[in-house]
Amino acid sequence: MAKLTFSIGGIHPADSKIARERKIEVLPLPDRVYVSMFQHLGAMAKPVVAVGDTVKAGQIIAEPGGFISAYIHSPVSGTVRSIGPRKDLAGFMQMHIEIEVQGDEWAEGIDLTPELVTSIPEDRDFILDRIKMNGVVGLGGATFPTHVKLNPPPGKVAECLILNGAECEPFLTSDYRILLERTDEIVVGAAIMQKVLGGCRCVIGIEENKPEAIAAVRASVARLGYPSMEVAVLKKRYPQGGEKQLIDAVMHRQVKSGGLPIDVGAVVQNVATSLAVYEAVQKNKPLVTNVLTVTGDVLPAEKQHNYLFRIGVPLSFIAQYAGGVPESAVKMVSGGPMMGKAIANLDATTVKGSSSILYLGEGTARKSESPCIRCGRCADACPMGLEPFLLKSLYKAGDVAALEQNAAQDCIECGCCQYSCPSYIPLLDNIRMAKGQVMAVIRARNAKK
């Protein structure tokens, strides 16, 4: 079968999947957790508990703050000790609920048994309500509320559900491990989403450097008997897991500037999201756990880990449990080296979308910038067909109108331009700022309509 890929741009960094053979380990609970109210795209969640309240694991502690928002549940049982601002990964103050851990008692009605449940509820509204009430969000990076994404607006029809198992970011292996260790649950989760979307075709895309995962998912699909579900082998190419790049690879359709995947009949979900959907619908289990990778080029193989964690756990606790921060690490990143965010403080805590603690060594330190040599490599590498060197110049000139005309808002912040630049120009940093300016203008213009 031909290997699929997107049509323009892209790069080929070393995959560095050092932790790929490390099975998922259950991370123990700390003495206290700090649960962020801002761990999904959209409006911040609103606390519904008070200081002194006793809570159980899986109990709702915050409700959605708007249409694009999500429920948040307690990841532990214990007592609420404070509700207030605390620094997040980037050092910004965000509202958190502090809970002192006292045992591990779960709320009633949550099924924690490992038995696979394949019988899917018939009622579409029931399924969507389970997904919403259990706080499921996209776990591929954007953390968009899943119940909203699975309910297209009138006139929009899903022709294909694409499950993203590419995990194209170097170093990350959490998706790979759940594809191997939670295969059947992921496949049933995909079937649930197919049903909600009206029985459309489903394609599970996995990069060619994960042959064991490809074989495991194909065997599961065949064993469980889903004829409208298939596994597509994707070329190893970054950013193969980008939403628009996956649609291009699988459906050979392009999402227009300002458009959404559903405009071309596509709905894209991550494999970890599919697992969360399975647990929410079949087990009534809220999204309070996920898997992250502790990895990096300064860690020996025996210190690489894939942990099943609870939300709200301090990163410092995970780092200490995993053996401490390596002295040779010059940078710590949450996420992959291409699109991840620098960790400004280890007192920040895990959120639903946490995917890694990445330690990088001296070789990854930023090099001194040189003048642009007009080589065009950044434009060749851009998977969105943009001209990064031009966008950088327009940003420096403060020309927001020209930035919008040249589609700065379409940047997916993949970092291909910066990776490919021989002059070490921080193109992504500039374009990210430019994109923010353009999006502010677009939002203000739309608000006046």
Q: Looking at the structure, tell me whether residues 239 and 357 fall in a common domain.
A: yes
Summarised one tens digit per residue, pLDDT across range 99-134 is 999 989 999 999 999 999 999 999 999 999 999 999
pLDDT of residue 91: 87
Domain that holds residue 188: 1-24+112-365
Q: Is 431 inside a domain boundary?
A: yes
- pLDDT at res. 2: 76
**32 in any annotated domain:** no
Give the model's pLDDT for residue 265.
97
Residues 436 and 355 in one domain: no
Task: Please state, as a whole number, how many other Cβ atoms lie within 10 Å of the Cβ of residue 133.
Answer: 16
403 and 255 part of one domain = no
The pLDDT value given to residue 1:
57
Whether 66 is in a domain gets the answer: no
User: How many structural domains is the chain composed of?
Assistant: 2
End-of-domain residue from the set 331, 365, 399: 365
- Is position 372 within any domain? no
- CA dihedral sign of residues 292, 433, 245, 197: positive
Last residue of a domain, one of 310, 337, 365: 365
Task: Indicate whether 208 and 335 sit together in one domain.
Answer: yes
68 assigned to some structural domain = no
User: At 182, which amino acid appears?
Assistant: R
> 361 and 382: one domain?
no
Q: How far is residue 5's CA from residue 25's CA, in Å, rounded to a whole number? A: 33
CA atoms within 13 A on the CB side of 54: 6
pTM above 0.85, yes or no: yes
Q: Is residue 45 part of a domain?
A: no
Find the helix or strand (DSSP H, E) in which 327 lies. none
Task: Mention every residue, 6+ apart, whose C-beta is less than 8 A from residue 449.
Answer: none
Question: What is the DSSP-derived secondary structure letter of residue 103?
Answer: S
Residues 360 and 297 in one domain: yes
Instruction: Report whether 15 contacts 209 (CB < 8 A).
Output: yes
Handedness of CA 249, 253, 257, 263 (dihedral sign): negative
Q: What is the CATH number of the domain that holds 122?
A: 3.40.50.11540
**How high is the pLDDT of residue 362?**
86
Residue 413: inside a domain: yes
Tell me the H-state helices in 3-161: 124-133, 146-149
Does 242 lie in the same domain as 384?
no
Position 168 scores a pLDDT of 96
Q: Are residues 281 and 169 in the same domain?
A: yes
Q: Name residues whose C-beta falls within 8 Å of residue 375's C-beta, 6 or more positions apart in sequence.
A: 422
Verify that 329 and 422 share a domain, yes or no: no
**Among 341, 365, 389, which residue terminates a domain?**
365
Along the 449 residues of the chain, how does pLDDT read in single tens digits? 579 999 999 999 999 999 999 999 999 999 999 999 999 989 999 999 999 999 999 999 999 999 999 999 999 999 999 999 999 988 889 999 999 999 899 999 999 999 999 999 999 999 999 999 999 999 988 899 999 999 999 999 999 999 999 999 999 999 999 999 999 999 999 999 999 999 999 999 999 999 999 999 999 999 999 999 999 999 999 999 999 999 999 999 999 988 999 999 999 999 999 999 999 999 999 999 999 999 999 998 889 999 999 999 999 999 999 999 999 999 999 999 999 999 988 999 999 999 999 999 987 778 899 999 999 999 999 999 999 999 999 999 999 999 999 999 999 999 999 999 999 999 999 999 999 999 999 999 988 87
Same-domain check for residues 360 and 409: no
| Distance in angstroms (rounded) separating the CA atoms of residues 273 and 137 | 7
Report the SS3 class of residue 318: helix
On whether the CB atoms of residues 29 and 311 are closer than 8 A, the answer is no
Who's near 396: CB < 8 A, 6+ residues apart? 430
**Residue 107 included in any domain:** no
Answer yes or no: do 325 and 435 share one domain: no
Residue in 152, 357, 168 with CA at minimum distance from that of residue 270 = 168
- Does residue 384 share a domain with residue 283? no
